[in-house]
Amino acid sequence: MTTRLLIAGLLALVLAALFLLPYGVSYFYIFVATEILIMGLFAASFNLVFGYTGMLSFGHAAFFGMGSYTTAMLLLHLQVPLVWTLLAAMLTSMLLAAVIGFFCVRLNEVYFAMLTLAFGMMVFSVAHQWRSVTNGSDGITGFPLTEFGLGLDLQLANPLVYYYVVLVVVVLAAALLYLVTRSPFGLILKAISENPERVAFCGLNERRFRLIAFIVAGLFAGLAGGLFAPFNRVASPDMIHWSHSAEAVLMTILGGSAYFLGPFFGAMVFVLLETWITSYTDHWMLVLGIILALMVMFFRRGILGTVLDRVLRR
Amino acid sequence: MSNQTRTIPRPRRLCTAVCLALGLGVAGSATAQEPVRIGAIYIMSGSPSVYGQFAQQGMQLAVDEINEAGGILDRQVEFVLEDSQIKADAAIQAARKLVYSEQVHGLMGLDSSGVATGVVPVVPELKRPFIITHAATPDVTGKLCNRYTYRLSVNISQNTRAAAEIAAETGARRWTTIGPDYAFGHQSWEFFGDYLKELDPEVELMERTAFPRFGNEDFTPFINNVMDAEPEGVLVSLWGGDLVNFIRQANNLGFFEQDFEVLMTLGGATEVMSALGEDMPEGIWVGTRYWFAAHENATNDAFVSAYMERFGNPPSYNAQGAYAGIYAYKAAIEEAGSTDPEAITDALSGLTFQAPNGPLTFREGDHQAVVGPTWGQTAEVSDEYGVRMLDPMKTFDGDLVTPDVSETGCSL
């Protein structure tokens, strides 16, 4: 019980720190923090499929990209309030996840990974080559940031305001995602990752549960993408590329996939390292590679995972 | 060695420290103030990174010259460089970092039209002047123009206006293109076609065109496609490593021995010419935003010889653009009398300053510099410069190739 209280206290502290962050750091770090929150949500949504259900997807960026393009195109062509574009982003990426998931969940392990990679590259090619709609490799740019909607008077173009919008949306989404993982549905996913045959023997349609997990993960990735485009001011095919899917994998491994907040922590480490290291060298990927190699060799459960393991004596 | 160090008498070392401090104190009036900081965003990674390196050299030369001559408003100048990665989002992040973390007074750079279209709409939020020195899409001084964005380099409409004149003189009537598959390649073809039609309404712009992905490595299918189409003229708007790879492969396939004219809109980049040397085909029309041997004025002479001496190769158009960008800021800051970004932005509008390719003026209507490209036919490789020279060569007058502000779609 005391450890639970401790964790609740720490969480409250983190939230308070995030809320007060703009008063304590230089203005530039508002952008860094915004990116961390969004990428954290993206990685956490990936972890529902990876850590919780035991499926390694290499196409998760497709849903992030779908969300980004949905938001960017709605803002560009229709100037819809942001809240509706976010809902639309969730809807379109959910539909895309349903279609891709329908095929992918039929396979396991490396075949599943390969098929998600293939679908991811298909979506990438469409975004990259359908110039008349997606503007090709330049992506959707120059869309206006209008209002948030719901009668709220928010200047979204102000980075500080946008940070708080992202903070609130990501915290709500993360809470929802956490509830999903703690629900009976979430426990079944956990069981599937540990022993799919046994779950099937219990009379549960294992494939259906995996599909639902895939769709829910796609939906949250779409929300992350929908938040990212207005921050980034571009929806580009790079966001759909498999290397962007790999970023979610890396962040999750860096933080630790066994804990819900692991991917968020991993996103923080990843983005901060990228920000700092690129100031000194253009070879940041090399440094990242060395860090990852050391992590996988010595801290398999990720940074946050290893620390929490110690604290909770697992 | 260590023995020698120990023998220096203590008082002298003390004096060195004190005297240095005193000396600094005297000279301090010029240096005690915060330096003027310029943020630059160029491509520093991947195959086109040689463009970024040239830009960096150009800026370094300009900054050192200015600091040696007393700085700007008695303050030293320095630049902070970030990598655009040829991605709009990376460049936007870089611009935010430069403004909010590095506290720069002004921004400059950008190598790609695709990147520029993404960055320019965000510039007003950063509230810093931005001088584009390379990216060529007309949109950033056209429909996307804004108070803070300026461009000193030749844009697509200026360059293709000149290209169309050269094309019309060759007598070729059936034209196709091979260009990178993004804003730049498509707009180059569109503008070239429009201008050529104006000069010669009978000319045929072929449906069959080739747009390989930027960073593509195998151009063979595209080269064959163009040769099969049997055009009379081909406009090549590939640039950077793409152009180098294309020319090597086109040489092997006999592309340049065919019976058609070849115009390369950016073939006169010394980055490309140096990489190719003798492999650059002779007798091809190439365009460039600046050619080091095309301008006879004191500024250019001093620039080219200082550049050659320091870096061992002739300055490319990107080096010249970056060099001129620093001097544009010098002129604007001196005109404004302060480093307040709003004051610099105002001072840039209508400003005339001396660049190696002549005096340049930022038009008040769209913030585009009135400047023309140099076009020429590739000739012998020069022993001194290591690149093919241009002969015949023609530098277009900016006034003649720059469209009227009313045609740009810009309203400021």
How many other β-carbons are positioned within 10 Å of the β-carbon of residue A205?
10
Q: Which residues, 6+ apart, have CB-to-CB distance to B267 below 8 Å?
A: B236, B243, B273, B280, B284, B285, B286, B287, B288, B378
Please tell me whether residues B91 and B101 are part of one structural domain. yes
Q: Which two tokens stand for residue A20?
A: 């007060």
Q: Which of A302, A263, A299, A256 is nearest to A36 (CA)?
A: A263
Q: Is the pLDDT of residue A21 over 80?
A: yes
For B288-321, b/e burial (b = at least 16 CB within 10 A) is: bbbbbbbbeeebbeebbebbeeebebbbbbbbbb
What residues pair up with A146 in beta bridges, in sequence order? none
Instruction: Check A137 against B121: CB less than 8 A apart.
Output: no
Label residue A150 exposed, middle or buried (CB < 10 Å: 0-12, 13-18, 19+). Answer: exposed
CA-nearest residue to B112 within chain A is: A138
Token pair listed for B57: 């050299």
Please name which of A188, A194, A243, A247 lies closest in space to residue A216, comparing C-alpha atoms: A188
**Other beta carbons within 10 Å of A107:** 14
Interatomic CA distance for residues B89 and A53, integer angstroms: 33
pLDDT at B216 over 90: no
Distance from CA of B370 to the nearest CA of A (A): 26
Task: Count other Cβ atoms within 10 Å, centred on residue B136.
Answer: 29
Tally the residues of chain B. 412
DSSP state for residue B306 in the 8-state scheme: H
List the CATH number of the domain containing B204: 3.40.50.2300
Same domain for B146 and B107:
yes
DSSP three-state, residue B391: strand
Nearest to B41 by CA among B28, B26, B51: B51
Q: Domain span at residue B61?
A: 34-154+295-371
Domain annotation covers residue B14: no
- pLDDT, residue A117, reads 94
Query: Do A305 and A258 touch, CB atoms closer than 8 A?
Result: yes
Query: A253 CA to chain B: closest CA distance, Å?
Result: 24
β-sheet with B149-151: strand ranges across:
B77-83, B36-42, B106-109, B130-132, B149-151
In a domain, B265, yes or no: yes
CA-nearest residue to B120 within chain A is A142
Please tell me if residue B92 touches chain A, with a CB cutoff of 8 Å: yes
Residues of chain A contacting residue B125, judged by C-beta atoms under 8 Å apart: 157, 159
Whether A234 sits inside 8 A of B181 (CB atoms) is no
Q: What is the pLDDT of residue A1?
A: 60
What pLDDT does B247 receive? Answer: 95
Residues B64 and B120 in one domain: yes
Q: What 3-state DSSP class applies to B135?
A: coil
Measure CB to CB from residue A142 to each of B93, B96, B121 and give the nearest one.
B121
B103 and B44 in one domain?
A: yes
The stretch A58-86 carries a mean pLDDT of: 93
Q: Which of B144, B354, B214 is nearest to A237 (CA)?
A: B214
pLDDT at B21 over 60: no
What residue has token string 């966001």?
A239
Tell me the C-alpha distance between A297 and A285, whole Å: 18
Task: Give the residue, B297 or A25, on which the prediction is more confident.
Answer: B297
pLDDT at A203: 86
* Token pair belonging to B118: 């993404």
Contact: B183, A141; criterion CB under 8 Å? no
Residue B187 in this model has a pLDDT that exceeds 70: yes
Which residues are within 8 A (CB) of B331 and not within 5 positions of it... i.e. 6 or more apart? B347, B351, B353, B354
Do B322 and B308 belong together in one domain?
yes
Claim to verify: residue B273 and residue B384 sit in the same structural domain: yes
The answer to whether B103 faces chain A, any CB pair under 8 Å, is no
Is residue B11 situated within a structural domain?
A: no
The reply to whether residue A138 touches residue B92, judged by beta carbons under 8 angstroms, is: no
For B93, which residue in chain A has the nearest alpha carbon?
Answer: A232
Residue B195, in any domain of the structure: yes
Using beta carbons and an 8 Å cutoff, which residues of A are at the interface with B?
26-28, 31, 128, 131, 136-139, 141-142, 157, 159, 232-234, 236, 238, 275, 278, 282
Question: For residue B91, is pLDDT > 80?
Answer: yes
Give B13's contacts (C-beta < 8 A, 6+ positions apart): none
Is B121 part of the contact surface with chain A (CB cutoff 8 Å)? yes
In a domain, B267, yes or no: yes
Please give the backbone phi and psi of residue B186, each rounded to the nearest 5 degrees, phi first. -70, -40
What distance lies between CA B10 and its chain's CA centroid? 53
Q: Are strands B130-132 and B106-109 parallel, antiparallel or unpaired?
A: parallel
Question: Stretch B234-241: mean pLDDT, rounded?
Answer: 92
Look at the alpha carbons of A78, A81, A87, A89 in this order and tell me if their dihedral is positive or negative: positive
* Alpha-carbon distance B275 to nearest alpha carbon in chain A (angstroms): 23
Beta-carbon separation of B214 and A137 below 8 A: yes
Q: Is B360 helix (H, G, I), strand (E, B) or coil?
A: strand
pLDDT band at B215 (very low <50, low <70, confident <90, very high): confident
CB contact under 8 A, A138 and B118: yes
Mean pLDDT of chain A: 89
Find how far residue B218's CA is from the centre of its chain: 26
Take residue B19 and report the two structure tokens written for it.
């005297």
Nearest-by-CA chain A residue for B91: A232
Q: Chain A: give the shortest CA distance to residue B101, in Å.
A: 5
CB contact under 8 A, B182 and A136: yes
**Cβ-contact A167, A35 below 8 angstroms:** no
State residue B326 phi and psi, 5-degree precision: -65, -45
Whether residue B281 is found in the same domain as residue B340: no
Query: Which pLDDT tens digit goes with each residue over B194-204?
Result: 999 999 999 99
**What Cα–Cα distance (Å) separates residue B16 from each residue in A132, B19, B26, B106?**
69, 5, 15, 38
For A140, the closest chain B residue by CA position comes to B118
Q: What are the strands, taking DSSP E only, across A40-135? A: none
pLDDT in tens, A197-245: 888 888 888 889 999 999 999 999 999 999 999 998 889 998 999 989 9
Number of domains observed in the structure of chain B: 2
Q: Which of B86, B89, B126 is the best residue to mutate to test the A interface, defined by the most A CB atoms within 10 Å of its own CB?
A: B89
Let me know: does A303 contact A292? Beta carbons within 8 Å.
no
Helix (H) or strand (E) holding A134: helix A131-134
Question: What was the pLDDT predicted at A61?
Answer: 95
For residue A268, the distance in angstroms to the closest alpha carbon of chain B comes to: 16
In A, minimum Cα distance to B183 occurs at A138
Alpha carbons within 13 angstroms on the beta-carbon side of residue A14 total: 14
Same domain, B284 and B395: yes
B100/A28 Cβ within 8 A: yes
**Whether residue B379 sits in one domain with residue B241:** yes
Alpha helices in B209-316 (DSSP H): 220-228, 240-252, 270-276, 298-311
* Token pair 């007393």: residue: B70
Length of chain A (residues): 314
- B190 touching chain A per CB within 8 A: no
What's the gap in Å between the CA of B120 and the closest CA on chain A? 8
Of B45, B118, B213, Cβ closest to residue A282: B45
Confidence grade of residue A281 (pLDDT, cut at 50, 70, 90): confident
Nearest one of B162, B189, B165, B185 to B175, comparing CA atoms: B189
What's the rounded Cα separation, in Å, for the pair B76 and B347?
20
- Bigger pLDDT: B124 vs A4: B124
| pLDDT exceeds 90 at position B250 | yes
Helix (H) or strand (E) holding B40: strand B36-42
Q: Taking all residues of chain B, what is their mean pLDDT, rounded to a whole number? A: 88
**Predicted ipTM?**
0.77
Q: Do B201 and B335 lie in a common domain?
A: no
Q: Which of A35, A122, A127 is nearest to A72 (CA)?
A: A127
Kindly list the residues from chain B whose CB atom is less than 8 angstroms away from the CB atom of residue A139: 88, 114, 118
Count the Cβ atoms, other than its own, within 10 Å of residue B336.
19
**Which chain A residues have a beta carbon less than 8 Å from that of B101?**
26-28
Can you state the angle between helices B88-96 and A206-232, rounded to 10 degrees? 60
Residues of chain B contacting A142 with CB distance shorter than 8 Å: 117-118, 120-121, 144
pLDDT band at B357 (very low <50, low <70, confident <90, very high): very high
Read off the tokens for B371.
Answer: 């400047």
Going by pLDDT thresholds of 50, 70 and 90, the confidence category of residue B37 is: very high
Assess B125–A contact: CB distance below 8 Å, yes or no.
Answer: yes
Nearest to B118 by CA among A144, A125, A133, A139: A139
A296 or A227: which leads in pLDDT: A227
Contacts of B126 in chain A (CB under 8 A): none
Domain membership flag for residue B407: no
Segment holding B143, helix H or strand E:
none
| Mean per-residue pLDDT, A65-83 | 92
Asked if residues A226 and A89 have their Cβ atoms less than 8 Å apart, the reply is: yes
Angle between the N-to-C axes of helices A61-77 and A206-232, in degrees from 0 to 180, rounded to the nearest 10: 50
Chain A residue with the nearest C-alpha to that of B85 = A282
Would you say residue B146 has pLDDT above 70? yes
Q: Residues of A with CB below 8 A from B181's CB?
A: 131, 136-137
State the virtual CA torsion across B179, B239, A141, B162 in degrees, nearest 10.
-70
In sequence order, what E strands does B317-387 have?
A: 352-355, 358-361, 374-381
Amino acid A125: pLDDT:
92
The verdict on B150 and B182 lying in the same domain is: no
Share of chain B above pLDDT 70, in %: 92
- Is it the case that residue B172 has pLDDT exceeding 60? yes
Domain spans, chain A: 28-240
Task: Choose the closest CB to A141 out of B45, B93, B118.
Answer: B118
Position A314 scores a pLDDT of: 57
Q: What percentage of residues in chain A have a pLDDT greater than 70? A: 99
Cβ separation B144–A139 shorter than 8 A: no
**Distance between CA atoms of B220 and B253, rounded to whole angstroms?**
8
Please report which confidence band the pLDDT of residue B13 belongs to, taking 50, 70 and 90 as the band edges.
very low
Say if B275 falls within a structural domain: yes
Pairing state between β B233-236 and B261-264: parallel
> Could you tell me if B246 and B378 lie in one domain?
yes
Q: Cβ B181–A137 below 8 Å, yes or no? A: yes
Residue B10: pLDDT above 50? no
What pLDDT, in 10s, does the model give residues A180-192? 999 999 999 999 8
> Per-residue confidence at B29, pLDDT binned at 50, 70, 90?
very low
β-strand partners of B394 = B375
Tell whether B52 is covered by a domain: yes
